[in-house]
């Protein structure tokens, strides 16, 4: 997404934020909401990535990490970023059993890529490479600013809606919404999150799959990883994501349990469709069965349909 689309999206979210302020406090409430939204947009531009990283308790890692799996993960990310012509991103791990990953940052010079400990535990090294190449593709395509800022603003809209439940029921003229307005906000809050998700086109995931498969040189491993992550994401709850659903759009697979299908408010394409597109890409490029020759730090493999798993490097 280009910068124009990014700012157009932020403008739409700001207008929605102001409208909610009007329902809560009339003209005064709208003015306060506009001022607050403007400040929040500026703050989000510079700090949204830090907010998300802190929210998920992301831990920076590098090649000196004592765990061999993490060293391999960092080394592969650095190598693929270099091959893709990108600056070296910050690399982090998230202490979460659900296998997943995301990228964040306002531009490639300030990007960070994150994998959960579950991802490093359950996927092969080739699959991890495919996932992280997908995240580097988001960095290369400059999707990360839009994804991160909209997640932050959408969370604020939901918080404002909850605020309205306590202060939106008055009868005075400065609170025109009254009880009806408060009830409307209860409906608008999840709709606002859905609108944000819809604004971030699902096509960016297909494009990141395509570019990521080319970066890693291995569409089949990314396809395999998507299937595994999809299976486990429905069995292992990501508590932080469930508490902050607007941030779900950041991940390679929707981390919210049971919400992975293509529906009106889905931010992610159907996984089966993504796998099919990747395998077709591999066939066209002659990479369908190609695997990188990797040494050292093998990662445990787990089958998504298996109800229990053997503890890996993370216990």
Is 135 among the catalytic positions?
yes
Closest CA to 309 of 258, 236, 257, 239: 236
Distance CA 234, CA 304 (A): 9
Q: Any bridge partners for residue 90, and if so which?
A: 112
Q: Cβ contacts of residue 86 below 8 Å, gap of 6+?
A: 108, 111, 136, 139, 140
Distance CA 143, CA 203 (A): 11
How many CB atoms are closer than 10 A to CB 127?
Answer: 26
Are 198 and 16 contacting, i.e. CB atoms less than 8 angstroms apart? no
Catalytic residue among 126, 127, 135, 205: 135
Q: Which two tokens mark 19?
A: 């409208």
Are 209 and 71 contacting, i.e. CB atoms less than 8 angstroms apart? no
Q: Any bridge partners for residue 60, and if so which?
A: 92
Structural element, H or E, at residue 278: helix 271-285
In b/e form, how buried is each residue of 246-264, taking b as 16+ CB within 10 angstroms?
bbbbbbbbbbbeebbeeee
Closest CA to 38 of 3, 79, 7, 75: 7
Distance CA 90, CA 118 (A): 19
Residues with catalytic roles: 135
């Amino acid at each position: 997404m280009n910068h124009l689309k990014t700012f157009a999206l932020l403008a739409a979210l700001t207008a929605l934020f102001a409208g909610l302020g009007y329902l809560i406090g009339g003209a005064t409430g709208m003015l306060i909401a506009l001022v607050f939204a403007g400040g929040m947009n500026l703050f989000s531009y510079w700090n949204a990535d830090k907010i998300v990283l802190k929210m998920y308790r992301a831990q920076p890692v590098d090649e000196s990490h004592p765990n061999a799996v993490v060293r391999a993960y960092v080394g592969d990310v650095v190598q693929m970023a270099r091959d893709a012509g990108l600056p070296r991103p910050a690399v982090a791990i998230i202490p979460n059993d659900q296998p997943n990953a995301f990228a964040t940052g306002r531009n490639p010079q300030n990007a960070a890529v994150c994998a959960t400990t579950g991802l490093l535990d359950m996927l092969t090294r080739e699959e991890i490479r495919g996932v992280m190449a997908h995240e580097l593709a988001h960095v290369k395509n400059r999707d990360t600013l839009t994804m991160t800022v909209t997640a932050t603003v959408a969370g604020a809209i939901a918080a404002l809606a909850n605020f309205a439940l306590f202060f939106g029921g008055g009868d005075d003229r400065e609170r025109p919404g009254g009880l009806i307005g408060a009830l409307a906000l209860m409906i608008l809050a999840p709709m606002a999150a859905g609108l944000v998700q819809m604004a971030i086109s699902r096509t960016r995931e297909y494009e990141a799959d395509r570019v990521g498969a080319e970066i890693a040189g291995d569409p089949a491993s990314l396809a395999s990883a998507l299937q595994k992550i999809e299976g486990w994401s429905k069995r292992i709850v990501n508590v932080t994501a469930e508490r902050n659903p607007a941030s779900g759009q950041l991940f390679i697979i929707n981390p919210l349990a049971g919400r992975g299908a293509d529906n009106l408010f889905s931010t992610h394409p159907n996984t089966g469709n993504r796998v099919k597109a990747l395998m077709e890409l591999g066939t066209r490029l002659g990479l369908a069965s190609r695997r990188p020759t990797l040494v050292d730090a093998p990662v445990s493999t787990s089958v998504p349909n298996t109800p229990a798993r053997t503890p890996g490097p993370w216990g």
